[in-house]
Amino acid sequence: MILQETFTLSNGVEIPKLGLGTWMIGNGEVSAAVQEAIKRGYRHIDTAQAYQNEAGVAQGVRDSGAKRDELFITSKLAAEAKSYKDAAAAIDESLRKMELDYLDLMLIHSPQPWMEYGEADRFQEGNREAWRAMEEAYKAGKLRSIGVSNFIESDLENILGSASVKPMVNQILVHISNTPLELIKFNQDREILVEAYSPIAHGELLKNEKVTEMAERYGVSVPQLGIRYDLQLGLLPLPKTANPSHMESNAKIEFEISSEDMEFLKNIEPIQHYGEASNMPVFGGKLK
């Protein structure tokens, strides 16, 4: 069963192969979602400072009754923290807000502040400074593992060139119709685990007739096909949902996509629009 399986990060830490994403689940609702997920066997919960729901996630963890050492909790450093001082303070603030002694994984959420996402400036010095704070927290035992998110090859090379601890994870947008194979290979060649957020393309995959036809042929749902696709690429999917029935079905992926169908899905026409989410930077939009 996928919920009981793990990847092993480059530092030896085990991370559950399927996580619960909590983006856009409000702080008041996320506690119940986390409890429902844990009740159904999820042990990997993903949040971020930018989601403004860390406290609710932590409340859900406490109220679930699960032992802390049985859970894998991830948060992400605010994309705007591009100095050692700001990053170090933000890491401590997450731990305080969540009332935790440590996080299992902390990521730099973006190489660029959200208001400047997609611009020419890659904030290389700021990312090196933020990474130095992450390394320090890691060595102090506040973080069991550290990584990045939304980093492309040049962003990773910038970190790797000066790091004393290399990133263990890069969390990026990967789903059927958006598969950056070269970036995935760049990470995997360096023993950096790729986590795939929005494996169902923020719901837009449900509108793709070719994907729907293939899912029907396998006797599974489109979300199940999308999650299985990421897993077969060696990635760790993070489907976001507050719906208990979706949590259950998302974890029922004990089937295999054929190599021929995987090749077809890798080369399916790229998605052009993410619906209401298209104004978000990671989906190609610009914050105003």
Give the pairing of strands 169-173 and 146-149. Answer: parallel
Q: How far apart are CA 19 and CA 68, in angstroms?
A: 16
Strand 14-16 and strand 6-8: the pairing is antiparallel
Catalytic residues: 51
Collapsing DSSP to helix, strand or coil, 206 comes out as helix
Cβ(34)–Cβ(9) below 8 Å = no
Given a contact cutoff of 8 angstroms between Cβ atoms, the answer to whether 71 and 34 are in contact is no
Give SS3 for 108: strand
For the chain, state the CA radius of gyration: 18
Neighbour tally for 176: CB within 10 Å: 24
